[in-house]
Amino acid sequence: MPTQKDNIIVTGGAGFIGSHVVEHLLQHNYAVTVIDNFDPFYDKKIKQKNTSSFISNPDVTFLELDILDKSQLQNQLCGDYKAIIHLAAKAGVRPSIENPTSYQAVNVAGTQNMLEIARVKGIKQFVFASSSSVYGVNKNIPWQENDGLLFPISPYASTKISAELMGHVYSHLYGIRFLALRFFTVYGPRQRPDLAIHAFSKKILNNQPINFFGDGSTKRDYTYIDDIVAGVYSALHYTSSDYEVFNLGNHHAISLTEMVNTLEIVFEKKAIINKLPEQMGDVSITYADISKAQRLLNYNPQTPFNVGVANFKTWLLK
The pTM (predicted TM-score) of the whole model is: 0.96
Domain tally, the chain:
1
Whether residue 230 is contained in a domain is answered as: yes
| pLDDT band at residue 279 under the 50/70/90 scheme | confident
Closest CA to 115 of 158, 157, 159, 166: 166
Whether residue 116 is contained in a domain is answered as: yes
Whether residue 25 is contained in a domain is answered as: yes
Query: For residue 90, what are the contacts with CB-CB under 8 A and spacing of at least 6?
Result: 39, 41, 96, 102, 103, 106, 107, 156, 159
Residue 1: predicted pLDDT: 52
Domain harbouring 50, CATH code: 3.40.50.720
Closest CA to 81 of 4, 168, 167, 173: 4
Domain assignment of residue 37, given as a range? 7-185+224-251
Q: Which of 81, 103, 135, 156 is catalytic?
A: 156
Check if 156 is active-site. Answer: yes
Whether residue 137 is contained in a domain is answered as: yes
Per-residue pLDDT tens for 120-140?
999 999 999 999 999 999 999
Per-residue pLDDT tens for 77-90?
999 999 999 999 99
The predicted model gives 280-307 an average pLDDT of 94
